[in-house]
Amino acid sequence: MALASTDEKNVALLTAAELLVERAAEILDANARDLAAAEADGMAASAVDRLRLTEARIDGMAGGLRQVAALPDPVGDVLDGTRRPNGLEIRRVRVPLGVVAVIYENRPNVTSDAAGICVKAGNAALLRGSGSALHSNRAVADVLRDGMVKAGLPADAVLLVDDVSHEAAVEVMQLTEYVDCLIPRGGHALIQSIRDNATVPVVIDGDGNCHVYVDERADPEVALRIAVNAKTSRTSVCNAAESLIVHEAMADAFLPRVAEALAAQGVELVGNDGARQRVPTMGAATDDDFGREYLDLKLSVAVVPSLDAAIDHVNRFGTGHTEAIVTTDLAHAQRFTNEVDAAVVIVNASTRFTDGERFGFGAEIGISTQKLHARGPMGLRELTTYKYVVWGDGQIVE
Amino acid sequence: MALASTDEKNVALLTAAELLVERAAEILDANARDLAAAEADGMAASAVDRLRLTEARIDGMAGGLRQVAALPDPVGDVLDGTRRPNGLEIRRVRVPLGVVAVIYENRPNVTSDAAGICVKAGNAALLRGSGSALHSNRAVADVLRDGMVKAGLPADAVLLVDDVSHEAAVEVMQLTEYVDCLIPRGGHALIQSIRDNATVPVVIDGDGNCHVYVDERADPEVALRIAVNAKTSRTSVCNAAESLIVHEAMADAFLPRVAEALAAQGVELVGNDGARQRVPTMGAATDDDFGREYLDLKLSVAVVPSLDAAIDHVNRFGTGHTEAIVTTDLAHAQRFTNEVDAAVVIVNASTRFTDGERFGFGAEIGISTQKLHARGPMGLRELTTYKYVVWGDGQIVE
């Protein structure tokens, strides 16, 4: 796979996209079996919805593969290079990671999305979805494998683990001889299991307890727009705001307004004393609230006496995902971007922008909240590593 | 530490360098206590030598700190950036990793070397040396901490764990709330313990089972020089060659010559049938030999029928460290560099060049044999991560 040409990889992806549409009936059939079992098991309606494929969703998966095929191939890029005084020419060249394992939950479209981006970056994808989506995942993986073969590439570059036991997932986490990088996509239980069991290198796609800080020098109209957008435009995603921090100089005028706007969207607020003083209908927020990723129509609110206190709060309760400040003051913006420790720090825009598509990556396999290897949205580039290629003409060391 | 200016960090390092020399007597005194205990415990002479500090070695440590102080500060570099169609300006900015833990064995100079490079990259260093070097490490760490304080930086940015129990080491490996990156520097037992116990992100500085492949189109003089240099210039290091692979078209003429040259340096050879046919005095090599990092005056030798067989052998037995080909054939060199999976692939030069100093990094904290985050020699750059800094003017998502 590492030696596959850009053309071969693109043909595989475009062929798979065609086959997904052609064989949609077969995939929907497999999906119907998963849906029937899920409903019989009493799966929650929202989970059933994530499990459900439709012709439109299959078209979306095919479109995703076409989009990845259209992206530049990152493999072979020379990152930098030097010529040493002894004449050695040292180049750092981008190469695929190798085998990328993805453990994911429920949504069968991840089978196609993850495989597509892995393959484009020259990797083999080892996919382990959840039992509830097994028939759907198998049908989708079969199509992708056919695409690989039709392009002259190995079918096993897309390999679905179809043992859906917990033990098999743990085994994937410990394949140190084979797996170069494991990317988990799922909830707390999965991440905890990864932390407990994984011995292979991991990039954690973790929680997003994202804050919007409204500075004393914020434009209140901009702050209102951003706070409402960050909280309500989509609540179930990791880049949604979970906490609003307001400087006390802004609190009297701003908090009642934003509370009203959020309430109009059905958002429940809980706050600290300073916040409840300004909006008495608000419930009390505990530290647990401030540390919580609600993923729901709920928001914690803190009034703080200073920029320092805001930064401290964000660094204490944040999860290193995305933090935003709204301010017109340059020095405040600079202090916030320098001192807040997160993958993405945003000035005067919604936290919802932390996303591979919105960053212009063309495709995304997740958002890293760790510091090693990749931070923030991960696209094709983050699915590669590098090797040093050194050319000499007989040099030896002294 | 992440906000420390370049000047502050440099002052800390230069002050520590001065203090190391000033307080050499105190450090040598502490070292004498470690040496006495080591000798009483019957420690092997080579290990006692690694433990021993002298005025010259302390001068060397001070020189290392000065050298790191003179290097450009990587923090704040803008790696790349874009302006999105909606006007968002996205910049990827280099920032420190945070807390870098280093678990190391025996050599007390690592205390100073590791702390220096961590501090220059804006990190706090959590150092855990071995019990046998505890007094020496404490004396060196005290000096470094004084240097930090004199520069107005926190002493605890250089923190020595002085509980030398196995349990304390395991605790360091599991400080997921505090440690952003753990770099182990030591032998198999340490690496295995890391694999078994670490829950923090790790960069493995692993074995180097490095090969020199002499192609059918090699210049025999160049091949001879490189093979002898790679094996014998220093045997105890990870970038020394442990295995020599020779194309059968070269074997009749080349193998007896290289065997003689290596024997003159005291190197014991073991080989496969093809090698023993050409050099009958050679012992038989097992797969275990081909997989072994001898770190000694011993070399495994294989005669292979083709470049393909050579690449297969290297990828099968190599540890992803450094692999060299000697050839005058461009296509062969290109196939080797493309198809061999290692951190460093070298054409016509000694494997011994894989080293931060020789690569021009100015300082090195280890050589990564994993693919995630850093591969090959790790310098200041590899002790950093990045954050995305995004500037908007009120953008929200649709």
Domain ranges of chain A: 6-204+374-390, 210-353
What's residue B27's pLDDT?
A: 98
Burial class (CB in 10 A: 0-12, 13-18, 19+), B331: exposed
Within 8 A of B396 by CB-CB distance, chain A residues are 225-226, 229-230, 233, 349-350, 352
Closest CA in chain B for residue A88: B349
Q: Which of A326, A372, A384 to mutate to test the interface with B (most CBs of B within 10 A)?
A: A372
Q: Given CB atoms, is B330 within the 8 Å cutoff of chain A?
A: no
The verdict on a CB contact (< 8 Å) between B376 and A360 is: no
Q: pLDDT over 90 for what percent of chain B?
A: 93
What's residue A324's pLDDT?
A: 98
Model confidence over B317-327: pLDDT tens digits? 999 999 999 99
Residue type, A258: V
What's residue B159's pLDDT?
A: 98
Within 8 A of B337 by CB-CB distance, chain A residues are 389
Within 8 A of B195 by CB-CB distance, chain A residues are 176, 199
The verdict on a CB contact (< 8 Å) between B358 and A84 is: yes
For the beta sheet containing B298-304, the strands, ordered from the edge strand earlier in sequence to the opposite edge, are: A78-83, A89-96, A384-395, B344-349, B322-326, B210-214, B241-247, B298-304, B268-271, B283-284
Within 8 A of A195 by CB-CB distance, chain B residues are 176, 199
Compare CB distances from B385 to A88, A98, A371 and report the shortest one's residue: A371
Closest Cα in chain A, distance from residue B68 (Å): 19
Please state the pTM of the whole predicted model. Answer: 0.94
For the beta sheet containing A158-160, the strands, ordered from the edge strand earlier in sequence to the opposite edge, are: A158-160, A124-128, A99-104, A181-185
What's residue B189's pLDDT?
A: 87
Which CATH number applies to A210-353? 3.40.309.10
Q: Mean of the pLDDT values across residues B5-12?
A: 98
Q: Given CB atoms, is A386 within the 8 Å cutoff of chain B?
A: yes
Confidence band for A188, pLDDT divided at 50, 70 and 90 = confident
Burial class (CB in 10 A: 0-12, 13-18, 19+), A189: exposed
Model confidence over A232-253: pLDDT tens digits? 999 989 999 999 999 999 999 9
Model confidence over B29-67: pLDDT tens digits? 999 999 999 999 999 998 899 999 999 999 999 999 999
Chain A to chain B Cβ contacts (< 8 Å): 190
Compare CB distances from A353 to B88, B219, B222 and report the shortest one's residue: B88
Residue B103's beta-bridge partner residues?
Answer: B128, B184
Within 8 A of A202 by CB-CB distance, chain B residues are 201
Q: Mean of the pLDDT values across residues A318-338?
A: 97
SS3 A74: coil
Strand B241-247 relative to strand B298-304: parallel, antiparallel, unpaired?
A: parallel
Scan residues 66-105 of A and list those with Cβ closer than 8 Å to B: 82, 84, 88, 90, 97-98
Enclosing H/E stretch for A79: strand A78-83
Three-state SS sequence of chain B: CCCCCHHHHHHHHHHHHHHHHHCHHHHHHHHHHHHHHHHHCCCCHHHHHHHCCCHHHHHHHHHHHHHHHHCCCCCCCEEEEEECCCCCEEEEEEEECCEEEEEECCCCHHHHHHHHHHHHCCCEEEEECCHHHHHHHHHHHHHHHHHHHHCCCCHHHEEECCCCCHHHHHHHHCCCCCCCEEEEECCHHHHHHHHHHCCCCECCCCCCCEEEEECCCCCHHHHHHHHHHHHHCCCCCCCCEEEEEEEHHHHHHHHHHHHHHHHHCCCEEEECHHHHHHCCCCEECCHHHHCCCCCCCEEEEEEECCHHHHHHHHHHHCCCCEEEEECCCHHHHHHHHHHCCCCEEEEEECHHHCCCCCCCCCCCCEEECCCCCCCEEECCHHHEEEEEEEEEEEECCC
Confidence band for A206, pLDDT divided at 50, 70 and 90 = confident
Scan residues 214-233 of B and list those with Cβ closer than 8 Å to A: 219, 221-222, 225-226, 229-230, 233
Q: Mean of the pLDDT values across residues B282-303?
A: 96
Confidence band for A189, pLDDT divided at 50, 70 and 90 = confident
The verdict on a CB contact (< 8 Å) between A376 and B370 is: no
What's residue A14's pLDDT?
A: 98
Compare CB distances from A338 to B3, B195, B372 and report the shortest one's residue: B3
CATH topology identical between A6-204+374-390 and A210-353: no
CA A139 – CA A159 distance, rounded (Å) = 12
The verdict on a CB contact (< 8 Å) between A229 and B397 is: yes
Q: Which residues contact A25 (CB under 8 A, 6 or more apart)?
A: none
- pLDDT over 90 at B172, yes or no: yes
Closest CA in chain A for residue B351: A396
How many CB atoms are closer than 10 A to CB A315?
Answer: 15
What's residue A195's pLDDT?
A: 85
The tokens of A277 are what?
A: 């003083």
Q: Mean of the pLDDT values across residues A341-349?
A: 98
How many CB atoms are closer than 10 A to CB B235?
Answer: 18
Give the least confident one: A325-334, A359-368, B138-147. A359-368
Residue recorded with tokens 């212009």: A360
User: Which of A377, A22, A348 is CA-nearest to residue A212?
Assistant: A348
Q: Given CB atoms, is B346 within the 8 Å cutoff of chain A?
A: yes
Pick the CATH number of B6-204+374-390 from 3.40.50.720, 3.40.605.10, 3.10.530.10, 3.40.50.1370: 3.40.605.10
What's residue B187's pLDDT?
A: 82
- pLDDT over 90 at A67, yes or no: yes
Confidence band for A34, pLDDT divided at 50, 70 and 90 = very high
Q: pLDDT over 70 for what percent of chain A?
A: 100
What's residue B337's pLDDT?
A: 98
Closest Cα in chain A, distance from residue B82 (Å): 9
What's residue B26's pLDDT?
A: 97
- pLDDT over 90 at A191, yes or no: no
Q: Which residues contact A57 (CB under 8 A, 6 or more apart)?
A: A109
The verdict on a CB contact (< 8 Å) between B397 and A348 is: no
- pLDDT over 90 at B331, yes or no: yes
What's residue A204's pLDDT?
A: 87
Q: Mean of the pLDDT values across residues A268-286?
A: 97
Q: Mean of the pLDDT values across residues B190-196?
A: 88
Confidence band for A106, pLDDT divided at 50, 70 and 90 = confident
Within 8 A of A352 by CB-CB distance, chain B residues are 396-397
The tokens of A368 are what?
A: 């890293």
The verdict on a CB contact (< 8 Å) between B372 and A342 is: no
Cα B145 off chain centre by = 25
Compare CB distances from B222 to A350, A353, A394 and report the shortest one's residue: A394
Model confidence over B197-249: pLDDT tens digits? 998 999 988 889 999 999 999 999 999 999 999 999 999 899 999 999 999 99
Within 8 A of B391 by CB-CB distance, chain A residues are 333, 346-349
Scan residues 158-177 of B and list those with Cβ closer than 8 Å to A: 176
User: Which of A210, A240, A245, A215 is CA-nearest to residue A228?
Assistant: A240
The verdict on a CB contact (< 8 Å) between A347 and B397 is: no
Model confidence over A134-177: pLDDT tens digits? 999 999 999 999 999 999 999 999 999 999 999 999 999 999 88
Within 8 A of B229 by CB-CB distance, chain A residues are 396-397
User: Which of B116, B183, B95 is CA-nearest to residue B367?
Assistant: B183
The tokens of A46 are what?
A: 């929202």
